[in-house]
Amino acid sequence: MNVLYQRSPRIKPMIREEEMEILRPPNEPNKPSFSLISIVLPVTMTLFSIGFYIYMNLTGKMGNGNYMMFQMVSVMMMLTSYTIPFFVYLGNKKKYKQQLAERVRMYNAELEKHKEELIAGQKEQVDVLYDIHGDPDVCFHIVKNRMSSLWERSPEDKDFLQTRVGIGSLPFYVKVKSPRADGYVKDPLIESAQNLAEQFKTVQGSSITLPLFQAKVIGMVGDREAVMNALRVTLIQIAVRHSPDEVS
């Protein structure tokens, strides 16, 4: 008795290569600078002037005491003014450290967002490959429940005569492009971005397939029991996912 079978339209999930570019971190803020010479030299000259005024006053060579007092007040005001740049420097230094910390915090937050997206992409790749190739248990349910995916693959499909032989590591379909360092100057944030890109080059737990149609001839080597089990699994997938008149 002949059985007429009409293949159902196949809806296969797709994995398209994508590129994710990790932008460079913002430039570091300018580090505040402070020169001791700009303060030490004027202070030294001022102290020398004070000593000179005191000497002149003690020796009686400076007759007007009020003038001496005025000079001393002026000198003290000058000394006070010399400390202003130092306190401004301390304020700028504190602000500089805050800006550095904010730069690190914001960039690490962006890297964490990228990491979450990449983890989701890895899971999607594993799930899609499993949906396409499944495992022997999936083949059993297809036959038992007479699902529409029976004999779904045709010679026009790219995965025609591809059988799942296990799980392993495959290249990630998302290509992560990390920023490059400028010359020999190392930036820990750029290194973190590069480490993230390196971490997501491959996907563990992906379905590994055997391309029978492309290979034409294959050989299985190993323990006899393991080889026979692998052969049975391969034949089951061929029988369930391909029409007999297309693989005979």
Q: Are 242 and 151 in contact (CB under 8 A)?
A: yes
Top mean pLDDT of 22-31, 126-135, 195-204 is at 195-204
| pLDDT digit string, tens, across residues 36-51 | 666 666 666 666 666 6
Average of per-residue pLDDT across 72-88? 65
29 in Cβ contact with 99 (< 8 Å):
yes
The answer to which of 83-87, 174-178, 238-242 has the lowest mean pLDDT is: 83-87
Rounded to whole angstroms, what are the CA distances from 239 to 103, 140, 236? 58, 11, 5
Instruction: Check residues 136 and 19 and name the one with the higher pLDDT.
Output: 19
Q: What percent of the chain has pLDDT over 70?
A: 76
Q: Where are the domains of the chain?
A: 18-241
Q: Are 129 and 206 in contact (CB under 8 A)?
A: yes
- Inform me whether the pLDDT recorded for 1 exceeds 50: no
**What pLDDT digit, counting tens, does each position of 214-227 carry?**
888 888 888 999 88
Asked if pLDDT for residue 165 goes beyond 60, the answer is: yes
Question: Cα separation of 189 and 110, whole Å?
Answer: 11
Residues 85-89, mean pLDDT to the nearest whole number:
72
Q: How far apart are CA 231 and CA 228, in angstroms?
A: 5
71 pLDDT tier (thresholds 50, 70, 90): low
As given in the structure block, the two tokens for residue 49 are 């002037």
Residue 130 tokens, joined: 């499993």
Residue 117 backbone dihedrals phi, psi, to 5 degrees: -65, -40
Predicted pLDDT at 118:
96
The Cα–Cα gap between 164 and 234 comes to 7
Rounded Cα distance, 160 and 248, in Å:
14
CB-facing half-sphere around the CA of 17: CA atoms within 13 A: 6
Write down the pLDDT at residue 79: 62
User: What is the predicted pLDDT for the residue at 246?
Assistant: 83
d(CA 78, CA 71): 11
What average pLDDT does range 69-92 have in this prediction?
A: 67
Which pLDDT value is given to residue 96?
87
Residue 34 has pLDDT above 90, yes or no: no
DSSP element (H, E) containing 193? helix 188-199
Residue located via tokens 């392993």: 168
Q: Pick the residue with more confidence: 180 or 37?
A: 180
DSSP state, 61?
-
What span, in angstroms and rounded, lies between the C-alpha atoms of 164 and 155? 17
The string of pLDDT tens digits covering residues 109-158 is 999 999 999 999 999 999 999 888 887 788 888 888 888 888 888 888 88
Q: Look at the pTM and tell me if it is higher than 0.85.
A: no
Q: Kindly state the DSSP code that residue 184 receives in the 8-state scheme.
A: T
